[in-house]
Amino acid sequence: MTRLPNRSTQTLRLLAELLGSPSAWQHGYELSKATGLKSGTLYPILMRLADQGLLTSKWKESDHPGVPPRHVYRLTPDGLAYARNQAESEPAALGARVSRANS
């Protein structure tokens, strides 16, 4: 049985950031900087959301020689619907990103 999505403040902060640019692929490092979440918090959330089908991830090759590929993430259609639902039910937790995502 798949675990229900976590509604922690950290998860909601991450969803808000992803909802700001739902079709854009984002690196974990960029998400960490934008949300203020440390890697020990961020990556387990990313993995859990991916396992639940709310995020998709892929390896992206670097444009610069010698830089290894990195994982990038974005919301799935189900993830986008879930994030929007959370934005409606938890607007204070999602903050200013909500208005940008719905424009």
Give the CATH fold of the 9-58+69-101 domain: Arc Repressor Mutant, subunit A (1.10.10)
Over residues 85-90, the mean pLDDT reads 83
Burial of 67 (0-12, 13-18, 19+ CB in 10 A): exposed
Antiparallel, parallel or unpaired: β 70-75 and 26-27: antiparallel
- Give 27's pLDDT tier (boundaries 50, 70, 90): very high
Comparing 92 with 10, the larger pLDDT belongs to 10
pLDDT of residue 36: 95
Comparing 2 with 60, the larger pLDDT belongs to 60
* Number of H-type helices and E-type strands within the chain: 6, 3
Residue 98 corresponds to which amino acid? V
Nearest to 101 by CA among 11, 24, 10, 2: 24
